[in-house]
Amino acid sequence: MTELLKQVRVIDPGLETDEIADVLIADGKIQAVVTEISDISSDTQIKDCRGLVLGTGLVDLYSHSSEPGFEERETLSSLLQGAAVGGFTRVSILPDTSPAIDHPAIVAQLQQRGGKMGNIPHLHVWGAMTLDLAGKQLTELADLAAAGVVGFTDGRPWENLGFVRRVLEYLQPFGKPVAFWPCDRLLSANGVMREGTEALRLGLPPIPASAETSAIASLLELVAAIGTPVHIMRVSTARSVELIASAKGAGLPITASTTWMHLLLDTKAIKSYDTSLHLEPPLGNASDVEALRAGVKAGVIDAIAIDHAPYTYEEKVQAFAESPPGAIGFELALPLLWQNLVETGKFTALELWQALSTQPARCLQQKPSTIIPDQKTELTLFNPQEIWKVEKKNLHTLSSNTPWLGQEIKGRVVQIWN
């Protein structure tokens, strides 16, 4: 099928272009991107795309899959369907399934499942660093690398810096992304929200910013000593942004990401005690949110991750501190980020799209998609003006643990090409 997208707003972060154009797509490839196309064949399907945005396909760095092990929360099929509806053309799942993704056979099983699902997001799999994510015994790293994992992470805080050093030494030759979530569990203890006046007001156990920053500082020292490139996951504090900026300025081989909800909400939102706001790391104070936004705009924080984490209604309906941390995000991230950051002038469209598409791909050492002739189509078409209500019946993922449930939001993905 040949499609002509008429007068669509084309956003390509790799080319740094944001312009109105006609885009011709045929045989799975981009045929032309020009100001106006009039000479077309009679069988071309013409779409009036005035007011719509065509961008490179969105890429998620890391999210949680409930399959295998927790299919009552969500299946791999519904996860990928929800990601597609949200505009994502590549999804990378963390190894915290049950069993954990610590063996090549599990990698092959997930790749096979993902490959059967057709023209939806490409599924990538993070391999575990340690058996059962226990932080004690290394997995067969070479076998996992050969099986095609996108990179290595446990996605959990570490307890032993000596073991982290050993991991960095062993992983250096593989040349694949290595990701860590820096958090000192002894400092965070039983806390559930960021330390500050709001935590005192709400009577919830606090987590000091130093639980994150001290762990980042330790990791950076090891990177400086060993030289293995690392990705720092789930950055959530202003001081963390400063530490990462300083390390990048010194030439350390690091990249970093924050999650989409940490760019939108701060501790004031928790006054509702909505358990979908119980996150790890916790939402920051207002100063943290501003620093994270500035960090993304400046490129100190390379990418925005979704960190999609589905839970059942029964799991989330309990006291805030007792609920499991996490929220869904695939279908909500782009609309809410666009509405709150682009439409308000805090971000340009290019800055947001770069952090959701081009930069996550680079963090994964993948080639970013681009919108130029002869390239395979990996595209997201977005309507920033469509209004819809966030209800379980309107979500394609099985879970609905989100603080926006029941609210109307503006912006929805129309289609992806992949």
Residue 60 designated active-site:
no
> Using alpha carbons only, how large is the chain's radius of gyration in Å?
21
Q: In whole angstroms, what is the distance from residue 276 CA to residue 327 CA?
A: 5
Could you give the CA distance from residue 321 to residue 196 in angstroms, rounded to a whole number?
Answer: 16
Q: What letters, b where the CB count within 10 A reaches 16 and e where it falls short, cover 234-261?
A: bbbbbbbbebbbebbeeebebbbbbbbb
Among residues 200, 222, 100, the alpha carbon closest in space to that of 154 is found at: 100
> Do 391 and 178 contact (CB within 8 A), yes or no?
no
Q: Which residues lie closer than 8 Å to 81 by C-beta, 6 or more apart?
A: 120, 396, 397
- The tokens describing 27, both together, are 């045989």
The whole-angstrom separation of Cα 253 and Cα 203 is 40
Tokens of 359: 């930069």
272's tokens: 């509702």
Cβ-proximal residues to 35 (8 Å cutoff; 6+ apart), any chain:
20, 21, 22
Exposed/middle/buried for residue 42 (C-beta within 10 Å: 0-12, 13-18, 19+)? exposed
> Terminus-to-terminus CA distance in the chain, angstroms?
14
The residue with tokens 């869904």 is 328
- Neighbour count for residue 90 (Cβ, 10 Å): 24
**If we measure between CA atoms, which residue out of 211, 180, 186, 203 comes closest to residue 282?**
211
Among candidate residues 144, 258, 316, 279, the one with its CA nearest the CA of residue 204: 279
- Give SS3 for 117: coil
The three-class DSSP label of residue 180 is: strand
Nearest-angstrom CA–CA distance, 404 and 136: 39
Please tell me which residue in 39, 266, 307, 374 is annotated as part of the active site. Answer: 307
Q: How far apart are CA 277 and CA 323, in angstroms?
A: 10
Known catalytic residues?
A: 307
